[in-house]
Structure 1
Amino acid sequence: MNAVIPQPRQATRTGATAGPRASGSWRVHSADARLRDLATTVHALLAPHLGDRLQPLGAVPDPDAATLTLALDGAASPDFRTPVGLAPTGEAGPVDESYLLTVGTEGVDCRAATPAGVFRAATTALHLLVTSGDRIPCQELTDAPHYAWRGLLVDPARGYLAPGELRALIDLAALYKLNVLHLHLTDNEGWRLEIPGVPELTAPAADGTPRAFYTTDDYRELQDYAAERFVTLVPEIDLPGHCATLREALPGLPAAPAPEGLTGRFPFVPPLDLTDPATAKAVATILDGVCRLTDGAFVHIGGDEAVGATEESFVQSIRELRSRVREFGKRPIGWQESSRAGVGPEDIAQFWVDVPMMDLPDTAEELSARPELLAAGHTLEFIAALKAFFAPADHDLARILDGGGRVLLSPQSHLYLDRAYAAQVVPPGQASTAVRLGFPTYRPRDVEHAARWEPASHSIPDDRVAGVEATVFAESVEFLDDVTTLLLPRLPSVAAAAWTGRAPDWNDHRTRLAHHGRLWEQRGLAYLASTEIPWAGQDPE
């Protein structure tokens, strides 16, 4: 078998059985001058896995080396239907990412009608090289995505990631055929993007401590790096709630009008009031800067959990945020709560929660069986207040569809990968790491739980789905190793569902995953060696 993830749509063994030696020397060859830059990118992706067995680009070919050939070939594009959803590049229609990969006796040919398709084939070839043992069986693979938008959200606002660490995550996303990196850049805990004209946002703290953030040059370089791997960066400036760092940087901005009786009952950062002229001006300057810095077509405005704002204030704020992003030439995306400000066919809402998927107890007996909630200090009164606050979420999905909007699927129940692992699947050697990772109030789950998510389970017509996006928020993380341990081995399961449009067969998928620990180790990525998976001799520590 091959252990490619996502599993290709069609795989055919060819007559010859002795393919090229995966453990031998390899070179990358671009059969078209238009693919020379792509060959450089593919060569860089292969380097951690092949080491000195990978010939330098442009070197005199070693006659004993196998060849990874990159070629543009319109006739090689398989006849699959157009992918569902939005092209993250903002193009009118989804990019053709279909490809044909052929393993012959002398090497691997990656052919497609577009450079994007050739690149997807090359990542498949990398999987074959790493997971096939000594020789790659001769075979032909044809493949194409189901969803056009396949994303991963990371959260440097709470857990800062240096530019080099973000590049490692871009590589990881690309290797599993994801094509969006959603950067949650602002929150109560941090503001991570330099905004021209608003230096206060990234200035040192009052005690002189420097803040970690991405300079405009960092941001441009990250976008370029991602684009070389056919990944689009989507920045998120989360407003009108989640605004503590903005308030600290720009003191004196008035709070949004609050519902009667709320003040003093629960702690919250007052949301911004975008009907206030000074607030609206400051936010407009920020969004103008973000839109000017961003190459892609989309900017995420947040819009979630605006605790402490009246309905009228929230609606006015969301409409102002959307209007400003459009005025500056980008398309706004908001969390599902933004649908409460009205929805039209041009709107995109990211679906993440309803009360049932929050999985909260109703009785004292049920609460006593949830140690993670008790440890977080949750009481029945607080849980009842949470349910009341999130009750409108039960109607958001219908509101989006009724208004003609598009849904970006990120259900908390399965695609929030900042969920602790179930203790029974954690190997003893990783117990101390696993116990401190994950959002403290989510019920811990095993890897199989995430892998069994079906995109169709939400009963959304395909033409109304914008795409699929996993998230890994950073409330519990300190290092890149923490992020990748939460992501791996779960992210490939979500990537498989996003690429194929359905949950992978668990028994087949866990067998494929068993060979990918080697791939992650070769890239220096920490992962959880779940006992559900028959690992092929890897040691994650």
Structure 2
Amino acid sequence: MNAVIPYASAGPTPRADDGALHATGPWRVTAADPVLEQLTETLRTLLSPHLPGLLLPAGSDGSGSHTLTLALDDEPSAPARATVGVAPDGGAHPADEAYRLRVTADGIQCLARTAEGVFRAATSALQLIATAGEHGELPFQELTDAPRYAWRGLMLDPARSFLTPDELRRLIDLAALYKLNVLHLHLTDNEGWRIELPGIPRLTATVTDGPAREFYTVDEFRSLQEYAARRFVTVVPEIDLPGHSGTLREALPGLAEAPAPAGLGERFPFIPPLDLTDEATHAAVTRLLAEVCELTTGPFVHIGGDEAFGATAESFAASVHELRAIVREFGKRPVGWQESSRAGVEPRDIVQHWVDVAMMDLPDTEEELTGRPELVAAGRTLDFIKALKKFFAPTDHDLERVVEAGGRVLLSPQSHLYLDRPYAAEFAPPEQTEAAGRLGFGNYRPLGVQHAAAWDPTAYAIPDACVGGVEATVFAEQFKGFDDVTVLLLPRLASVAEAAWCGRAPQWPEYRERLAHHGRLWNQRDLAYFASTEVPWSE
């Protein structure tokens, strides 16, 4: 069976010489073009967990082995669909990622016009090898493919639950294997500041947990970007302002508070957002964003702009306007959460859509609240829920505002792409009942894997000219440790990757059969996952 995720647009095409390749090895990786030599090194690293003892050393003559060949080809089959969205490398047009893959008696050929396309083909080849099963038979076939969306991202949250550089590298590998090409790092929040800025050492002076240092040094951050780039993944750092600034306020006391709506603080405590119209505060933020922009090798810096609870609409809009201007001044293109659209939108602005009131799925009455035990357990009251709905009411018009102004929308809807949603207990195998009850954000209704796989990126009726791309998120309020992250990501990240690449939701009956083979791939990479009973997992 062909279990590749995302599914190749043309599907597997049997070749005239019907037969099968025994994929159990040994294997060697070769480049038919000198410009792909570095790519062979990257691919060997990615393949090593799946071919223990069966991957021949670089330079081996490969006698008796199968060959995974990487080659540039001026005529890979024409893409089945046009690529739309923002190019993560900052180019004027999306990269050519179309590829062709052939399975023959001698091995697998990965063909494309560009190195990036060859790499996408190679990740499909890796999946074929890793999911082939104990007999390891791969039918002779040909796949042709190209992506629908240019920006296919994953957001991680080391601000709240730190991930070491080695852990981030493992997640970069995972993203790349599913043809994701953006890693968005939520580096700052009320709970932590996770990037070293040499000019402002106080930001990380006290960020420790016992003997551990819980931030990325300049060298570590640069190294992570280089590692990602070798896998055609662009790193986008997020400095979340003007709200979510608790750690920044602790490090730099005296930053000006944004004017707050009258009477708000008497009912709900909050950490005051920043006021960037204040000269000293503006200067401090300019200094730190200058350093972030200098450290960032990619073209984008995310300014946050979400949930500025405690700022008037006028103050918030003024601060977002200044944040965008500062990032542009230092040569980067700003990205912001959808609330940033209320500061105005220009065609070049990228706005990340994540919520509206209906999507929040919150009760209206005490009776309805009683029927939501996850909200009761999280301490939510009806008064608090009503205040949330009022605060988020403007979100109902954010998407319309962006599209009408010709901005670019990154689709990250909380309803399906927020992968910190708890799993429904009814789908938990006995050994993961505790994890299903513990993991995930308490505001969200627990649901299953099929729910995430049902997401359709075309449901928003956004013109192609206004599409930025697709990005899954996993915020870290409710967990600690690497395994918690991967259990929330897997298996749901795979369906997001398929929707982002193919531009449509997978067909569940067929998709679950392919997904069933990927537990083997994750086990080979020592990645914990939620073995939902919705899926007939293969050994």
Shorter-chain TM-score tier? over 0.9
**Contact between 1:19 and 1:107, CA under 8 Å: does it hold in 2?**
no
Residues 172 and 210 from structure 1, CA distance in 2 versus in 1: closer, same or farther, beyond 3 angstroms? Answer: closer
Q: Does 1:429 align with 2:424?
A: no
Q: Which residue of 1 aligns with 2:187?
A: 185
What aligned pairs does 1:217-236 form with structure 2 within 5 A after superposition? 217-236=219-238
Alpha-carbon distance in structure 1 between the residues aligned to 2:416 and 2:496: 9
Name 1:150's counterpart in structure 2: 152
Given that 2:79 and 2:144 are in contact with CA atoms closer than 8 Å, whether structure 1 keeps it comes out as: no
Give 2:205's aligned residue.
203
Q: For the residues of structure 2 that align with 1:454 and 1:96, how far apart are their CA atoms?
A: 24
Deviation at 1:210, TM superposition (A): 6.3
Q: Please, which of 148, 151, 175 is the counterpart of residue 173 of structure 1? A: 175
Q: What is the match of residue 343 of structure 1?
A: 345
Distance 2:203 2:160 in 1: 15
How far apart are residue 51 of structure 1 and its match?
1.2
Match of 2:422 among 410, 420, 423: 420
Q: Distance between the aligned counterparts of 1:427 and 1:268, measured in 2? A: 39
- Tell whether the 8 Å contact from 1:18 to 1:135 is kept in structure 2 after alignment: no
Which residue in the other structure is 2:45 paired with? 44
Query: For residue 287 of structure 1, what is the amino acid of its counterpart?
Result: L
Q: Secondary structure at the match of 1:53?
A: coil
1:242 aligns with 2:244: yes
CA distance in 2, matches of 1:33, 1:17: 32
After TM superposition, give the deviation of residue 205 of structure 1 in Å.
Answer: 5.7
Residues 207 and 214 in structure 2, CA contact (< 8 A), matched pair in contact too: no
Amino acid of the structure 2 residue aligned with 1:94? P
Show the counterpart of 1:475. Answer: 477
Counterpart amino acid of residue 46 in structure 2: L
Distance between the aligned counterparts of 1:162 and 1:267, measured in 2? 32
**Would you say the 8 A contact 1:167–1:225 is kept in 2?**
yes
CA distance in 2, matches of 1:321, 1:197: 19
Tell me, yes or no, if the aligned pair for 1:202 and 1:211 is still in contact at 8 Å.
no
Corresponding residue SS for 2:75? helix
Q: 3-state DSSP class of the match of 1:470?
A: strand
Contact 1:184–1:235 at 8 Å: present in 2 too?
yes
Change (3 A) 1:67 1:204: same
One-letter amino acid of the structure 2 residue matched with residue 34 of structure 1: V
The CA deviation at 1:401 is 1.0
8 Å Cα contact 1:204/1:210 also seen in 2:
no
Retained in 1: the 8 A contact 2:9–2:80? Answer: no
Q: Alpha-carbon deviation of 1:496? A: 0.1
Displacement of 1:8 in angstroms is: 0.2
Contact persistence 1:355–1:391 (CA under 8 A): yes
Question: Using the alignment, how far apart are the partners of 2:89 and 2:260 within structure 1?
Answer: 38
Counterpart code for 1:96? D
Question: 3-state SS of the aligned residue for 1:74?
Answer: coil
1:284-328 CA-partner distances (Å, limit 9, x unpaired): 011101111111111000000000001111011000000000000
Shift of 1:20: 2.3
Alpha-carbon distance in structure 1 between the residues aligned to 2:518 and 2:421: 21
Contact 2:6–2:497 at 8 Å: present in 1 too? Answer: yes
Corresponding position of 1:12: 13
- CA deviation string 1:250-306 (max 9, x = no partner): 011121111111122112110011111111111001110111111111100000000
* Residues in 1 aligned to 2:436 and 2:22: alpha-carbon distance in whole angstroms: 37
Match of 1:305 in 2: 307
Distance 1:353 1:125 in 2: 37
Q: Is the 8 A contact 1:150 1:498 kept in 2?
A: yes
- Looking at structure 2, the residues matched to 79 and 143 of structure 1 have their Cα atoms a distance apart, in angstroms, of 6
Deviation track 1:28-69 (CA, whole Å, cap 9, x = no partner) reads 01001000000000010000000110001112x232100000
Q: Which runs of 5+ in 1 are unaligned?
A: none
Does the residue aligned with 1:507 lie in a helix, a strand or coil? helix
CA distance in 2, matches of 1:482, 1:272: 32
In 2, Cα distance between the equivalents of 1:378 and 1:155? 23
Name whichever of 348-357 and 208-217 sits farther off: 208-217
In structure 1, how many angstroms separate the alpha carbons of the residues matched to 2:428 and 2:139? 34
For 2:485, the aligned partner's letter is V
Worse-superposed segment, 166-175 or 375-384: 375-384
1:135: how far off? 1.5
Matches of 2:159 and 2:207, distance apart in 1: 15
Alignment of 1:460-499 (within 5 A): 460-499=462-501
CA deviation profile, 1:222-271 (whole Å, cap 9, x unmatched):
00000000000000000000000000000111211111111221121100
Query: What one-letter code is carried by the residue in structure 1 that aligns with 2:45?
Result: A
Distance 2:327 2:402 in 1: 20
Identity between Structure 1 and Structure 2 (%)? 65
Structure 1 residue corresponding to 2:292, chosen from 290, 293, 305: 290
- Residue equivalent to 1:102: 102
In structure 2, distance between residues paired with 1:318 and 1:67: 53
Q: CA deviation at 1:132?
A: 2.2
Q: How far apart in 1 are the matches of 2:510 and 2:112?
A: 27
Q: Deviations over 1:403-435 (max 9, x none)?
A: 111100000000000000011111111111221
Whole-angstrom distance in 2 between the partners of 1:321 and 1:104: 54
For the structure 1 residues 208 and 374, does the alpha-carbon distance in structure 2 shift closer, same or farther, using more than 3 Å as the test? closer
Which whole-Å CA distance do the structure 2 matches of 1:228 and 1:159 have between them? 26
Q: How does 1:76-95 map to 2 (within 5 A)?
A: 76-95=76-95
Matched residue type, 2:181: N
Report if the CA contact (8 A) 1:16-1:105 is conserved: no
User: Structure 1 counterpart of 2:24, which letter?
Assistant: S
Give 1:81 deviation, angstroms: 4.4
Give the whole-Å Cα distance in 2 for the aligned partners of 1:82 and 1:205: 45
* 2:536 counterpart residue number: 534
Letter in 2 for 1:241: G
Deviates more, 1:412-421 or 1:272-281: 272-281
Tell me the residue number matched to 2:118. Answer: 118
Specify the alignment match of 1:323 in structure 2. Answer: 325
The 5-angstrom pairing of residues 348-497 of structure 1 reads: 348-497=350-499
Give 3-state SS (helix, strand or coil) of 2:222's partner: helix
Q: Secondary structure at the match of 1:76?
A: coil
**1:62-81 equivalent positions in 2, closer than 5 A:** 62-81=62-81
Task: Give aligned pairs, total.
Answer: 536
What one-letter code is carried by the residue in structure 2 that aligns with 1:313?
Answer: S
Deviation per residue, 1:162-198 (Å, 9 max, x gap): 0000000000000000000000000000000011211
Query: Deviation string for 1:323-369 (max 9, x for gaps)?
Result: 00000001000000000000111111000000000000001111110
The counterpart of 1:504, out of the listed 506, 519, 522, is: 506
Structure 2 counterpart SS, 1:136: strand
Q: C-alpha displacement at 1:14, in angstroms? A: 1.0
Deviations 1:69-100 (A, max 9, x none): 00001112524443110100001100000000
Residue 32 of structure 1 corresponds to: 33
Helix, strand or coil: the match of 1:235? Answer: strand
